[in-house]
Each structure stands twice: as C-alpha cells, then as structure tokens.
Amino acid sequence: MGAAATAMGDYLDATLGNAPRLAFTDELTIYGAAQAHRRLQDALATGQPLTLDLGQVSELDSAGVQLLLALARECDAIEQPLIITALSDTARAVLDMLGVTRFSAPPATT
C-alpha cells in the first residue's frame, strides 16, 4: 500500500490505498473556502472514508466551520465515514466557543 501526497496551498492531499486524507496545514477560512470545498468534494466522490487532519490549523473562521458542518451533513446523508484524526488548539477553541460538538479528535501533537 503506497502513499501519495501533494502540497496544495493550505493543505496536503494524500491517499492511503484509495481512502482520501486531507491535512489542513494553515488556515481554514473564507479566503480558501472555495478551494477547500472543491478538494473535499473530490475526496467525497471516491466513495471511501474521508480522513481530515486539522492538527495544524492555525486559523478557523465561521466559513471554515460551515464547510466542516456541511461536509459532516453530506457524509451522514451518503453514509460515508468522516474521520477527524487531530484538532489543533485553535480549531478546538473555535469549535468549543461556537458549541460545535460534532467533531472530536485527540489534540494535535507538536
């Protein structure tokens, strides 16, 4: 089983087998929401469980939260697993502040 990865702006696309993994490595904000949305839709189209690593997210705004919530709803609707492997302190603080309890993951390791 090989791994492929490509740096794409604020996140890293990788696959292990056929399962997509997206690691956001900077901001998840309105400025990159359209591009992130396209990448997430491409990942969903594989029909495989989708893994998100939010452990390096340095900034998360309401557009980023909306994107994550919409993704979670879509995954639920099509019965496709969504796995969050890590949340940065920043991402966790924003989600907690907004009362979003849908996402849980171990703290990011540094």
Give residue 14's pLDDT. 52
Domains parsed from the chain with CATH numbers: 3-97 (3.30.750.24)
Q: Which residue has the higher pLDDT, 9 or 34?
A: 34
Closest CA to 50 of 90, 83, 91: 83
Contact 23, 12 (CB under 8 A): yes
Whether the pTM exceeds 0.85: the reply is no
Q: What is the pLDDT of residues 20-71, one digit of tens each?
A: 889 998 899 999 999 999 999 999 999 999 999 999 999 999 999 999 999 9
Q: Which residue has the higher pLDDT, 105 or 49?
A: 49
Give residue 103's pLDDT. 81
- The beta-carbon contacts of 7-11 under 8 Å, at least 24 apart in sequence, are 8/35, 8/39, 9/35, 10/36, 11/36, 11/39
